[in-house]
Homo-oligomer: A and B are copies of this chain.
Amino acid sequence: MAEFTTSLRVRYCECDPMGVAHHGSFPAWLEEARTEMLRGQGRTYAQMEADGLFLVVTKLELQYRRPARYDDVLDIRVKLASTTRVKLVHEYAVILKERSLTENSPSATGDVLVTGSTTLACVGRDGKLTPLPEWLQG
């Protein structure tokens, strides 16, 4: 299944007193990657919600291997790993694309900083499970 990559730069407020991206900053980045993958397929999650379909995260797994630092540019790679009638499993790799500062850098360009996966369930306005639209079932 196709892989999609989106890039973003680590914000100051996403970093913590250790000077690196807080581990809690990553879920939003994975979400952004999923959103942009949908857009790359000619759809938007905003329109899905307007149509009464909501994707809720039911599972999140993250393995943090190396720190991302303030102002680093990251590639967020996402691929659809599997689907059922109501669920989507995505897998992710966060890659260091461009270091803001090269001095004392704990990581090198191209390093995999974080890997992870999410499971999303499709629900309707009533919060009940509902089949994914066909175009999302891969």
Contacts and interface: CB of A to CB of B under 8 A. Distances in A.
A81 interface: no
B60 A61 contact: yes
A32 B24 CA distance: 12
A113 B19 CA distance: 23
B23 A57 contact: yes
One complex includes copies of this chain to the number of 4
A1 interface: no
A106 interface: yes
What band does the interface of chain A fall in when counting residues whose beta carbon is under 8 Å from B?
Answer: 35 or more
A62 B60 contact: yes
Given A44-B71, A63-B59, A71-B46, A16 B18 contact: no
A2 interface: no
Contacts of A106: 127
Interface string A17-29: 1110011110110
